[in-house]
């Protein structure tokens, strides 16, 4: 799976710190995401994994540090510039975060109409159908989120992310709350998306099977720090992975 170009980085994080009150959640985080790479951030609940990717899209403001996305420090740009960068980043939320007043198709059209203004309007339906087909949800496109199962919601969230053709995808616990079979499906989907769209990804998870299936490289996180780095085979016999 190591087909990424190691010279080109799409995300650079340097000396990142973040606290909530007295609780330091991120403590001197440094890493890079290379183009075409699937990077897994593995750690227990509360380790600071989700806060890290929330900082990358500026949903949380770090206390200090540098976050460069495509070479631009996103902590220094105005909202308009930030939104241009955000449109190149897909984000899969833990619960899917689907808009519950809209059908699945409308969920995909919402960012499409507002985020891809240069895309011909007549092609919207085709693109939505194409993306829904790629995640196996074409036949339920007129259903609202409350009519979908947990696994379907994750797939739908992923479809909404893919519709903007992102260059980077951030997955926040993509397999949490799912049964082992559906988790396996989602992990396979993450791999197939990378093969199909050739995007870079950060996958935040505590699921070893998901990490094994999807990772080109793994960063192990504990108490807001990276404590180990390598691929699955390097790390599988360490105490962090047992």
Partner 1 sequence: MLQDSINNFFIEVAKITHFTIQTIANLFKRPFELEEFIKQSYRSGYKTLPLITITALIMGLVLTIQTRPVLVKLGAEAWLPGMVFISVIREMGPVITALIFAGKVGSGIGAEINSMRVTEQIDAMEVSGTYPIKYLVSTRVLATTLMLPILVIYADFIALFGSYIGFTLRSNISFISFFNQAFSDIDFIDIIPAVIKTFFFGFGIGIVSCYKGYFLNKGTEGVGIAANSAVVISSLVIFIIDLIVVQITDLIV
> Contact between 98 and partner 1 (CB under 8 A)?
yes
> Contact between 91 and partner 1 (CB under 8 A)?
yes
Whichever of 113 and 209 has its CB closer to partner 1, that residue is 113
Where does this chain touch partner 1 (CB under 8 A) — which range of 88-96, 136-144, 190-198, 215-223? 88-96
Do 78 and 94 contact (CB within 8 A), yes or no? no
- Phi/psi region, residue 221 (left: phi>0; alpha: psi -120 to 50; beta: rest), is beta
Where does this chain touch partner 1 (CB under 8 A) — which range of 69-77, 80-88, 177-185, 212-220? 80-88
Strand pairing class (217-222; 225-230): antiparallel
Please report, as residue ranges, which positions from 179 to 238 form the binding site for partner 1 (by CB under 8 A).
Answer: none
Distances (CA, A) of 133 to 21, 137, 199, 208, 222: 45, 6, 19, 28, 38
Q: Which residues contact 10 (CB under 8 A, 6 or more apart)?
A: 33, 34, 35, 69, 70, 167, 168, 200
What minimum distance in Å lies between the beta carbon of 22 and partner 1? Answer: 17
What minimum distance in Å lies between the beta carbon of 47 and partner 1? Answer: 19
One residue of 57, 74, 168, 210 binding partner 1 per CB under 8 A: 57
> Contact between 136 and partner 1 (CB under 8 A)?
no
Burial of 97 (C-beta count, 10 Å sphere; 0-12/13-18/19+): middle
> Contact between 99 and partner 1 (CB under 8 A)?
yes
One residue of 23, 64, 83, 238 binding partner 1 per CB under 8 A: 83
Do 46 and 36 contact (CB within 8 A), yes or no? no
> Contact between 95 and partner 1 (CB under 8 A)?
yes
> Contact between 114 and partner 1 (CB under 8 A)?
yes
Please report, as residue ranges, which positions from 169 to 188 form the binding site for partner 1 (by CB under 8 A).
Answer: none
Whichever of 157 and 224 has its CB closer to partner 1, that residue is 157
> Contact between 155 and partner 1 (CB under 8 A)?
no
Interatomic CA distance for residues 27 and 222, integer angstroms:
10
Identify the sign of the CA torsion 208, 199, 154, 226: positive
Interatomic CA distance for residues 96 and 192, integer angstroms:
19
Interface residues toward partner 1, by CB under 8 A: 57, 59, 83-84, 86-87, 89, 91, 93-95, 97-100, 110-111, 114-115, 157, 160, 164
């Amino acid at each position: 799976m190591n087909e990424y170009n190691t010279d080109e980085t799409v995300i650079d994080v340097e000396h990142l710190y973040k606290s909530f009150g007295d609780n330091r959640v991120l403590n001197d985080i440094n890493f890079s995401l290379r183009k075409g790479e699937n990077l897994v951030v593995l750690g227990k609940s509360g380790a600071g994994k989700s806060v890290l990717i929330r900082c990358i899209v500026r949903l949380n403001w770090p206390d200090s540090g540098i976050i460069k996305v495509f070479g631009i420090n996103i902590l220094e740009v105005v909202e308009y510039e930030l939104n241009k960068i955000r449109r190149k980043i897909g984000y899969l939320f833990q619960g899917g975060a689907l808009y519950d007043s809209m059908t699945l198709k409308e969920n995909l059209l919402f960012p499409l109409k507002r985020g891809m203004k240069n895309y011909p309007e007549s092609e919207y339906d085709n693109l939505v159908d194409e993306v829904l087909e790629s995640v196996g949800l074409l036949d339920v496109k007129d259903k609202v989120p409350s009519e979908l199962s947990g696994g379907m919601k994750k797939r739908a969230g992923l479809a909404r992310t893919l519709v903007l053709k992102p260059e980077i995808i951030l997955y926040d616990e993509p397999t949490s709350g799912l049964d082992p079979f559906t988790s396996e499906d989602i992990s396979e989907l993450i791999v197939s998306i990378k093969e199909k769209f050739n995007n870079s990804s950060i996958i935040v998870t505590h699921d070893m099977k998901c990490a094994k299936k999807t990772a080109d490289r793994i960063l192990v996180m504990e108490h807001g720090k990276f404590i180990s780095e390598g691929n699955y085979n390097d790390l599988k016999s360490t105490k962090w992975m047992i």
